[in-house]
Amino acid sequence: MAEIPAIDEIVELYRDVIGHYDPVRSSVTVHVSFYPYIGINQTIRVRDGQIYVRIAEICREMPIEIHKALAFVLVAKLFRRRVPKQARELYSNYVSSPEMRERATASRRERGRKVITGTSGAIYDLEELFSDLNAKYFWGTLRKPTLTWSAKPTFRILGHFDSHHDTIVISRSLDSTDVPRLVIEYVIYHEMLHVFHPTVHHNGRRYNHTAEFRRDEERFENFEEADRWIEQNARKLKRKVTKGKSILRRIVR
Ligand SMILES: [Zn+2]
């Protein structure tokens, strides 16, 4: 087993990566700490001209080259720049490995947060689904809004993101053994994209589903399978099926 990297070493690495994007800022003060987040969650922010990085506690044993890849992911996000493909893949493969996912699940169980947050339904736990999707599609870096089940099982709309209250609401009708995991995963993933791609205002109009949004939506691995299930269960969801059109895209807001 490789040595666990020291904090100083990680701080140095962030300075290098910051310098890569912005040489002027390479001497900025950087603070790196491990934080007892539930699951895999990594954050970066600027306060009073200094940069604060918080890495999930369960990533403490991460090899230095993965820290470097994560540094590229976080710093690029902060500076709104492109993440180098190699870094993105390296980090994403690491956090989506079975070992890391198991560790994330174990950390949630230990903390026993399920009861406190109220995100756990009879079958699905929104917190757990969010965290897995965050690791898989957003490198664990997507800011987490409030997650909640709808008060009643709604069928017309299965999910929506309320930006005023910064809340993702998922229909209770999906909290059922009848609903495959990939279907509820798709609905949550769609709402997460609304957090990732804020509404664009143009000529007095609001655009929620921009071209970038739709492009990222296609990255969802099981889109066709989920769509097929929705189509086959359209009646139950009180929806009409239109030939050749994705029904899945019309049941989420
Ligand atoms: Zn939407």
* pLDDT classification of 39: cutoffs 50, 70, 90: confident
Q: Would the pTM of this model clear 0.95, i.e. be above it?
A: no
Q: What's the distance, CA 23 to chain centroid? A: 30
- Could you tell me the distance, in angstroms and rounded to a whole number, from the CA of residue 89 to the centre of ligand 1? 27
- Could you tell me the distance, in angstroms and rounded to a whole number, from the CA of residue 121 to the centre of ligand 1? 23
Give yes or no for a contact between 109 and 59, defined as CB atoms under 8 angstroms apart: no
- Residues near ligand 1 ion, CB 5 Å cutoff: 253
Domains of the chain with bracketed CATH: 7-94 (3.30.2010), 114-250 (3.30.2010.10)
Q: What pLDDT digit, counting tens, does each position of 187-206 carry?
A: 999 999 999 998 888 888 88
- Could you tell me the distance, in angstroms and rounded to a whole number, from the CA of residue 189 to the centre of ligand 1? 10
Give yes or no for a contact between 96 and 136, defined as CB atoms under 8 angstroms apart: yes
Q: What pLDDT digit, counting tens, does each position of 204-224 carry?
A: 888 888 999 999 998 999 888
Query: What are 118's two structure tokens?
Result: 């109220």
Would you say residue 91 has pLDDT above 50? yes
30-35/50-56 β-pairing: parallel
Closest CA to 216 of 138, 108, 143: 138
- Could you tell me the distance, in angstroms and rounded to a whole number, from the CA of residue 201 to the centre of ligand 1? 15
Q: What pLDDT digit, counting tens, does each position of 99-147 carry?
A: 888 888 887 777 654 344 468 888 899 999 999 999 989 989 999 999 9
Within 10 angstroms of residue 101's Cβ, the number of other Cβ atoms is 17
